[in-house]
Amino acid sequence: MTALTSPLGRLRWTFLDGLTLVGRELGRLRQEPGQIIAALVFPVIMVVLFGYVFGSAIQVPDGGDYREYLMPGLFAMVTFSAWLGVMTRMATDASRGVMDRFRSMPMARVAVPFGQTGADLLTGLLMLAIMVGTGLLVGWQPHRGLIPTAQAFLLMILLRYALSWVGVYVGLAVKNDQVADAMVPLGLPFTMLSNAFVPTDGMPGWLRFLSDWNPVSALTAASRELFGNPGAPSGNVAWPLAHPVTAVLLWSAALLVIFVPLSLRAYVRRGR
């Protein structure tokens, strides 16, 4: 058994090829500075728009500063955007024949989806860092110390990575990049239908149910709890909001268990 045919050798081969494709995706960003500028400006616009424009008309439950209430929701919103970007890039590469060229090269076949998700994780960290800096400038801050703060950001990273595999699968399932582009606006209702920007108490019963069981709401509630920001759930609330950290872990595990094998299977089948 050679080094490349052994299980450990194949794993190492896949990992190295995946790192190469991560570098390819980051290099593509350097060639398209507009995407970098958008990634830098978007978090700032979100903080200013929601924090100052909408914040003046929204009351925080139990009092408190709206921008401190808002920032965990914006962190969750940026986290949830992972699947949209990966979906678009996968569909674009598939429709333009890039994946066919990858398959003709002596590389691990499953390295492509791993490279896409890895690259998205790095760009997501950059966006998150920019939003954290912007939040600190407008008065947001965590109050519970270093460890709970780190736990909150680790939850965001974990859920973002899990959601990126959703993007891989959907990007491979759609017919072309035009269909993927048309699906991007569909991501907005998922973030708006949550507790990210307003409390869910005043929503109709059926709408509140959907909002409370939205993974965006669970991540937002977990972040508020770990940061010590206003709006942490209390009283008689849905299970995901009463146990938000556990809910985020379960959502992440479920998405990975379902969509990693689906994505790898879809990538292999698309090449047949």
* Res 72: pLDDT: 93
- Mean pLDDT across the stretch 169-192? 82
Residue 226 near residue 148, CB atoms below 8 Å: yes
Q: Supply the pLDDT for residue 2.
A: 46
| Cβ-Cβ contacts under 8 Å for 156 (sequence gap 6 or more) | 75, 76, 79, 128, 219, 223
151 has a pLDDT exceeding 60: yes
Residue 166 has a pLDDT of 94
- Radius of gyration for the chain, computed over Cα atoms and rounded to the nearest angstrom: 20
- What pLDDT does residue 1 have? 44
Return the pLDDT at 212.
Answer: 92
pLDDT in tens, 115-135: 888 888 888 888 888 889 888
The alpha-helical segments, DSSP class H, found in the chain are 7-31, 33-48, 66-80, 82-95, 98-103, 111-137, 146-173, 177-183, 187-192, 205-212, 215-227, 239-242, 244-270
Q: What is the tens place of the pLDDT at every residue in 15-34? A: 666 666 666 666 666 666 66
Tens-place pLDDT, residues 223-254 = 999 999 988 776 678 899 999 999 999 999 99
Q: How many CA atoms does the CB half-sphere of 43 hold within 13 Å?
A: 29
Q: What is the pLDDT of residue 34?
A: 64
Rounded CA separation 102/17 (Å) = 11
Cα 148 to Cα 22, 67, 163, 222, 253, distances in angstroms: 30, 19, 23, 10, 21
Residues 4, 84: Cα–Cα separation, whole Å: 34
